[in-house]
Structure 1
Amino acid sequence: MAIKDNIKPTRSELLELKKKIVLSQSGHKLLKMKRDGLILEFFEIMEKARNARSELMKSYDDATTKIAIARAVEGVVAVRSAAFSLTEKPEINLESKNVMGVIVPKIESSGVQKPILNRGYGIINTSARIDEAAQGYERLVEQIIISAEIESAMKKLLDDIEKTKRRVNALEFKVIPEQLEAEQFIKLRLEEMERENTFRLKKIKD
């Protein structure tokens, strides 16, 4: 099939297109490396997430068991009174960290687990059951904070993996093939134009 006569590309256009192809292929390679790195990082964090969830469920079961025992032994009023006597609240600091170019949250806490004397309630009028319940819920809160950081990081990484995959696929299956096709078209058209010019020159010479 003959190439259209009304399209007349130039050598400079071909060179410019070749530069774009090199850039696209380089970008494609870098994005694939980033995608693969993010996937590896995601699987590492996913393993941490499994462990964190397991620990969270253990902490939850332990805390609910201990609070149930405290209520049964001390009574609901005594447990609530001990809970409301808390004066020093935990501090939560939200920062960020960079994982393979993705900004993920970093949550740090302090003052979650407290010595008995810093819980606000009097140790004379309460039993060890309330202390155990308070300690159980302090551990649960710490585990919730750990899980929240890991789950948030997982979501951020997964979103960026999907974005990177779309960009890789767009370059691999659309942009680069179209550029290569355009390059081949320009080469063939330039060759055809050269043949036409050679033919004209021969006719003029004759």
Structure 2
Amino acid sequence: MPSHDITPTRSVLIELKNKIKTTKNGYKIMKMKRDGLIIEFFDIMEKAKEMRGSVASDYQAAMLKIAIARAVEGEIAVKSAAYALKTEPKVKVGSKSIMGMMVPKVEADVIHVDILNKGYGVISTSPYIEEASVAFEKLLDTIIRAAEIETTMKRLLDEIEKTKRRVNAMEFKLIPELEEAMKFVKFRLEEMDRENTIRLKFLKGKGEAAE
């Protein structure tokens, strides 16, 4: 708001004071939001580190179990058991709020299936194949939870950057410009008051001299 574009009036001065007050209140709220988001981000980041470790360990465990099943039962038996599965995982993607920001909430159904409902024969299937199946179910569950945390972390980081830009714009541009405009209006009003006072004194002096 360039000073030369402002008409120096009492109403404009009041309007500027109100804008400064409102903007400063908004600035405080945005700072609190930014700080809260940063705290949430570091909390989620710790969870993400743990979850990445869980994904890696569950993956290694699943690959070991499937390797043992292949070695003992053979590739054909393992593939036959896989093709015989009746159910498929179903993923539901919803949302939840963190500091007023919506982040994904991922839930999965039908991941852990009872051995009697998997589709392959209990007697004809070895425990090695079942152990591999359980290990991959656990890995899938971990991956889904990791996806939710990783996406939430990215959303938080984006929101933090956006909020930081708003805070900086208020602190270094908007508020200083409004305060500078208010100073200009106050200065011009005081200057106009002085001019009016001098003019009145001059007119009063001329009137007294004429008498």
TM category, shorter: over 0.9
Normalised TM-score (structure 2): 0.92
Distance in 2 separating the partners of 1:117 and 1:152: 35
Letter in 2 for 1:193: M
Q: Which consecutive residues of structure 1, in runs of 5 or more, have no partner in the other structure?
A: none
Residue equivalent to 1:144:
143
Distance in 2 separating the partners of 1:95 and 1:7: 49
Letter in 2 for 1:117: L
Letter in 2 for 1:47: E
Letter in 2 for 1:64: M
Q: Which consecutive residues of structure 2, in runs of 5 or more, have no partner in the other structure?
A: 206-211
Residue equivalent to 1:85:
84
> RMSD of the alignment, in Å?
1.6
Q: Percent identity?
A: 57
Secondary structure in structure 2 of the residue aligned to 1:122:
coil
Residue equivalent to 1:66:
65
Give 1:50 shift: 1.0
Aligned residue pairs total 203
Q: Please say if residues 63 and 136 of structure 1, whose CA atoms lie closer than 8 Å, have aligned partners that are also in contact.
A: yes
Q: Please say if residues 8 and 189 of structure 1, whose CA atoms lie closer than 8 Å, have aligned partners that are also in contact.
A: no
Secondary structure in structure 1 of the residue aligned to 2:72:
helix
Deviations 1:69-120 (A, max 9, x none): 1111111111111101111222222111111101011111222012222221
Distance in 1 separating the partners of 2:6 and 2:90: 69
Residue equivalent to 1:109:
108
Normalised TM-score (structure 1): 0.94
Give the 5 Å matches for 1:26-175: 26-175=25-174
Letter in 2 for 1:198: T
Distance in 2 separating the partners of 1:170 and 1:121: 63
**Greater Cα shift, 122-131 or 20-29:** 122-131
Distance in 2 separating the partners of 1:199 and 1:158: 60
Distance in 2 separating the partners of 1:46 and 1:106: 16
Residue equivalent to 1:205:
204
Distance in 1 separating the partners of 2:79 and 2:168: 58
Give 1:7 shift: 7.0
